Amino acid sequence: MRKLYNRRSLAVDPVHMTTLHHEAIEQLELMQNCVEASEHAIDGMRDSLETIAEKHWESYLDVIHMICMHDDNLATVMKKQGFSMRDSELAETERQFFGNRLLILSLLLGLIRRHRRFAYYYGLRTNPMGDYIKESISMEREHLAEMISMLQNTM
């Protein structure tokens, strides 16, 4: 029997990946603004800002899920970290900022920088430093997964 279609892995579309990483940056920046503002707010306003920050974190995780669907290497690294994209238990429970807000803000800033580096790498088409970029991207994936898991555990 003859196969009609050969399954080949598709190359990652750099424009689409850049767009996804820019969306991740936007969600993280919005979350960062909410966490900074909640630091100076009191009572009901603080609760509202923390709820908004939680929503941005959930939206960020949705974007990471989309990135992992296109980038198998990142999905592998995320699974190696023990991070699952969809966890029904965590979705039902309420998140709280258990850790230090300064730590959360620092991790958010680090994640934003990592996503900017990914957007930069996907913007490069051809480069004589191709091996260096491949090695650097794999290191960035590992660092991104570690930072996401640290932030997830902090919240």
For Cα atoms 54, 33, 151, give the angle at the middle one, nearest 5 degrees.
45
Q: Which pLDDT score is estimated for 8? A: 47
The two tokens of residue 122 are 């996907």
Q: Which pLDDT score is estimated for 7? A: 47
Residue 94's domain spans which residues?
14-154
13-25 in b/e form (b: 16+ CB < 10 A) is: eeeebbebbebbb
Q: Is residue 4 part of a domain?
A: no
Q: Is residue 78 part of a domain?
A: yes
10-residue stretch averages of pLDDT, the chain, 155 residues long = 51 81 94 90 88 92 90 86 61 58 88 90 70 80 88 81
Q: Is residue 5 part of a domain?
A: no
Q: Which pLDDT score is estimated for 73? A: 85
Q: Is residue 114 part of a domain?
A: yes
Q: Which pLDDT score is estimated for 34? A: 92
pTM of the model: 0.78
Number of structural domains (the chain) is 1
